[in-house]
Structure 1
Amino acid sequence: MGRSIDQDVHAAFVEFRAKEDDKCLSVQCIYCQQIRAKNTSRQKQHLLECPGLQNQPNARPQSNDGGMPGSSSGYGPAQGLAGPNGMANGMSTPQGTPAGVSMPNRPSLPPGTSFSQGPMGAGPPNMTPMQQRPTPKPKPTPKSASGGGNIPAPPLDDVHAAFVEFRAKEEDKCLSVQCIYCNQIRAKNTSRQRQHLLECATYQNVMKESIPANNLLHRFEENDVARSLSIPTPTLELDFRMSVKLNPKISVGPTMFGQRNWISFIGGQWAGRWGKGVVIPGGQDNQLVLKDLATRVEASYLLQTQDEPPAYITVKSIGWRTGPKDVLERLQDNQTADTTPPTQYKFRINLELETGDERYAFLNTCMWVGSGCRRGAEVIYDAYRVG
C-alpha cells in the first residue's frame, strides 16, 4: 500500500519543542531548514514553494498532476533522506541571520556561534533532523556549568538584547526567539528567556568576563561569589574650581617623618555647579616634604557662599604632589613655579565638605577628587565629584 499525502508531508518535517512544557509544536523543513508552527495544510503549501525541495533533482514533481512514481503526494524522497523521520548527513545548511531581523546594538556574539536560515524564513543553528528522532529537544544547560548561577538576573533590556525574534511566516501569530549565546530556539516569553540566561553557560561566562575585576592580573577563584558580582563603576564629574592665596611658608623643621612646613591661607575664591563664593582667610596647610621632595598636603579651610544669608562650608583635603625631583625643586621657588606646567608633575587630592546649612546638606555625603597646580603663592585645583 502506498503512503498517504499526510504521511509524506510529515516525513518532510521534523517536530520539536524548545521546552518540554511548551504546548505548541514547531516543525523544521528537512529541505530548506525553515522553522514554522505545526500545521499540515501550511506544511503542504510550503512544500509546493520550497526552494530547497526544488533544488533536489530527484524530488521534483515529474508529472502534470504533481505526482511521480512511488509517491501519492507528488514528492519523491530527497537526496540523503534516511527515513520518514530522519535525514542522513551531507545536506548543507545555508548560513546567515534570520530573515527580516535587524540587530542594532546587540551584544557581540561569542566565538563560534552562528545562525542558520532557509531561503524563505529563519531557522535555528545547527539543528539538523536526526535519524529516527521525530521530536528532538535541546538539552538543558546544567546549572553547575554556569559557576553556580551567581550572575544576577539580567534586566529587561539585556534579556531582549540576548535574543533574536523571528517568524517562520509573516502570517504566523506566535513569535519565536533565538539565544545569541547558545543558539537555542524557544517560544517568546520574557520570564522564561530571563530564566534561560541564568542557566546558559555561554551567557554566564561572557558576563563574568565583562566584569572588570575578572580581567586583572590576579582574580578570585572560579567558584567565589566575588567573581560573579558586577559592581557599578564610579564616575567623575567636574563640580567646582578653587583658587587659594598662600602666605609664605613657615618651616617647622625636619621631623622623624620628614621636613614639616606650615602654610596659612590669605583667602581665595571658588565657583562651581551648585554655587560660588570666597575662601575665608585663616585656613592652613600642614605639609610634609620627603627626601625626594614628594610633598604630602593636609589642608583645612572655610568656604562662604554668596547667598543672603551666606552659608559656611568646611573643607578638608589630603593628597600628594609628586614628580621628578628637578621639577619639584622648581615648585619650591615662587618665580619658577609659575613657569612649570602642571603636566610635568602630579598634584592629586581627596576632599570632604561639611556644612550645617540645609540648603547645602547634600554636600555632606559626597566625595571629591581634585587635580591641582602650584603657581607661586597660589594653588588652583579642580574638584571632581565621585558619582
Structure 2
Amino acid sequence: MTRLPGWSRPFDGIMPRHVDQDVHSAFVEFRAEGDKCMSVQCIYCQQTRAKNTTRQKQHLLSCSAYLEAHPDVATNLQAAAATAGAIAGDPNASSSSASGSAYPAIPGEGGEHTNLSFMPNPRINGTPMSAAARPSLGPDGTPAPKRQKVKNAALYEIPLKDVHAAFEEFKNSDDDKCMSAKCLYCGQTRAKNTSRQREHLLQCPNYQSILKEKLPVNNLRHQFDEDDVASSLSLPTPTLELDFRISIRVKPKLNAGPGNFGRESWISCVGGQWAGRYGKGSVLPGGQDIQTTVKDMATRIDARYILQTNDENPALITCKITGWWTGERDVMERLQDPVAADNVAAHRYLLRTTFQFETGDSRYDHLNTAVYVGSGARRGAEIVYDAYRIG
C-alpha cells in the first residue's frame, strides 16, 4: 500500500489527518433561533452549512482560503490525485491536477459539491474502490466470503416463543457476562442472539424436518415439489368467530319452472330479526331467495335481504347470501314440505353459505370488507343462519 508524503497513514481513500485535526477549529458552531439542529460557519470563507463533520472536511478541501493557508494540504491532495490516477490507470489524472483542481470532480455529483477537491471514501460516497483501497485478500487470492443469507428465510418466520423453546440458555462460567445458547435439536452452541438463533433454526436439518411436518401444505395427500416455493411457505390459519344469527320468515315457495341450470323457485321474505356482536335489528320485508334445484335435489341459494339496526338513527345494511343446500334425496324431499321440515334435524343435511354485506353508514362500514361463512337450518316458514367471521 502506498504511503503519501505528509499523510499520517497509508493512502486508502480516506482524507488526510491534517483535516481531521483542523475541522473543528476551522468552524464556528451556532444555533439559529427555532432551529433544532446546529449550524457551522467556516472561519476562512464564512460559508454557512449544517453541522456535519464529513461535509465540513469536504468543504475545507475545496475552500481556496483554507488551502492557501495550508499549502502542504494542497500539495498532498495533488499528489494523492496523481497517485490514485496512476493506480487506476487514468491517463487524465495528471491533467486534472494541473488544471487547477486538486482532485477530479466526482462523477454524478451536482450542486455545491460538484467540484469538491477530496479523495472520496468508498464506504461513504459509494464510488468504486481502487485496487489499493480494496480489502485484503485471503490466502487463496480471493476476498473473504460474505455471510450467506438463509435460503427461504423470509418464507417462514419462526415465532419468538418457538425460538426460545428450541434453545437451552446457560453461562460457560460465573465470570461470563454474556449468555450462551445450545440448540436442543442439533447440540450446536452459540452466543445468545435471537436473530442468529432464528437463522440457525432455518438451517438446522433436525429442526427443519420437524418444521416441515408442521406446515399444513405438507400434510396434503398430494404435495408440491420440494424446491417449489409453495412447499415451504407458511400461511396464517384463518379463525372463525360467531358474529351474528339471523332469522328470516318467508312465504310459501313459488315455483318458477325449469331454467337454464335447473328448476327455479322464488321465496319472498316477510320479515325477521337478527342479533350479533355489533348490534341487533330487524329484517325488512321484500327480500328474495332464488333457489335453483339441480340433480339429486341439491339446491343453489342466492338471496338478498335488507337489515335494519335498532339504533336511534337506524342504519340499513344489504345482506347477500349465497351457498348450497345438499343432503340425501329423501331428506331433501322432506324439507320441501314446511310441516315435515320441522322434524328434520339440522345435522341431516348441509346448508352452507357465504355472506356479503354492504352499507354506506360509517358506524357499520367494517362489514363492507368482512368475510363470512355460515350454516343454516329450515324450520317451517322460517330459515335461520349463523354467520362466522373469518379472522
Q: TM-score, normalised by structure 1?
A: 0.60
When structure 1 is superposed on structure 2, of 181-190 and 318-327 the one drifting more is: 181-190
Distance verdict in 2 for CA 1:321–1:287, change over 3 Å: same
For the pair 1:226 / 2:230, whether they are aligned, the reply is: yes
Shift of 1:190: 2.4
Look up the equivalent residue of 1:346 and give its one-letter code.
L
Shift of 1:230: 0.6
For the pair 1:263 / 2:274, whether they are aligned, the reply is: no
Q: Is the 8 A contact 2:153 2:199 kept in 1?
A: no
For the pair 1:297 / 2:313, whether they are aligned, the reply is: no
Q: Which residue among 174, 183, 186 is the counterpart of 1:182?
A: 186
Tell me the distance in 2 between the aligned counterparts of 1:330 and 1:153.
Answer: 52
> Aligned-residue CA RMSD in angstroms?
2.1
Q: Which residue among 348, 355, 358 is the counterpart of 1:354?
A: 358
Tell me the distance in 2 between the aligned counterparts of 1:276 and 1:364.
Answer: 17
Matches within 5 A, 1:156-235: 156-168=160-172, 172-235=176-239
In structure 2, what is the equivalent of residue 375 of structure 1? 379
Q: Is the 8 A contact 2:372 2:389 kept in 1?
A: yes
In structure 2, what is the equivalent of residue 243 of structure 1? 247
Shift of 1:148: 5.7
Distance verdict in 2 for CA 1:153–1:346, change over 3 Å: closer
For the pair 1:334 / 2:349, whether they are aligned, the reply is: no
Shift of 1:323: 0.7
Across the two proteins, how many residue pairs are aligned to each other?
A: 245
When structure 1 is superposed on structure 2, of 279-288 and 254-263 the one drifting more is: 254-263
Shift of 1:150: 6.0
Tell me the distance in 2 between the aligned counterparts of 1:168 and 1:371.
Answer: 59
Shift of 1:326: 0.8
Look up the equivalent residue of 1:385 and give its one-letter code.
R
Look up the equivalent residue of 2:289 and give its one-letter code.
D
* 3-state SS, counterpart of residue 182 of structure 1: coil
Look up the equivalent residue of 1:266 and give its one-letter code.
V
Residue-by-residue CA offset, 1:64-122 (whole Å, 9 max, x unaligned): xxxxxxxxxxxxxxxxxxxxxxxxxxxxxxxxxxxxxxxxxxxxxxxxxxxxxxxxxxx
The structure whose RCO (Cα within 8 Å, separation 6+) is larger is: 1
* 3-state SS, counterpart of residue 317 of structure 1: strand
In structure 2, what is the equivalent of residue 48 of structure 1? none
Shift of 1:198: 2.9
Q: Is the 8 A contact 1:150 1:225 kept in 2?
A: no
Q: Is the 8 A contact 1:151 1:207 kept in 2?
A: no
Look up the equivalent residue of 1:233 and give its one-letter code.
T
Shift of 1:199: 2.4
Tell me the distance in 2 between the aligned counterparts of 1:331 and 1:192.
Answer: 61
Tell me the distance in 2 between the aligned counterparts of 1:212 and 1:179.
Answer: 25
Structure 1 runs (4+) greater than 6 angstroms displaced: none
Q: Which has the larger radius of gyration?
A: 2
Q: Is the 8 A contact 2:255 2:265 kept in 1?
A: yes
In structure 2, what is the equivalent of residue 283 of structure 1? 287
Look up the equivalent residue of 1:333 and give its one-letter code.
D
When structure 1 is superposed on structure 2, of 279-288 and 208-217 the one drifting more is: 208-217
Tell me the distance in 1 between the aligned counterparts of 2:152 and 2:359.
Answer: 47
Tell me the distance in 2 between the aligned counterparts of 1:240 and 1:151.
Answer: 36
Q: Is the 8 A contact 1:148 1:223 kept in 2?
A: no
Tell me the distance in 2 between the aligned counterparts of 1:327 and 1:172.
Answer: 74
Shift of 1:223: 0.7
Distance verdict in 2 for CA 1:292–1:261, change over 3 Å: same
Residue-by-residue CA offset, 1:270-295 (whole Å, 9 max, x unaligned): 00000000000000011111231111
Residue-by-residue CA offset, 1:158-193 (whole Å, 9 max, x unaligned): 321221112355565442211112111122222322
Residue-by-residue CA offset, 1:238-258 (whole Å, 9 max, x unaligned): 000010001111111122321
Tell me the distance in 2 between the aligned counterparts of 1:189 and 1:252.
Answer: 70
Distance verdict in 2 for CA 1:385–1:148, change over 3 Å: closer
Q: Whose helix fraction is larger, Structure 1's or Structure 2's?
A: 2
Shift of 1:208: 2.4
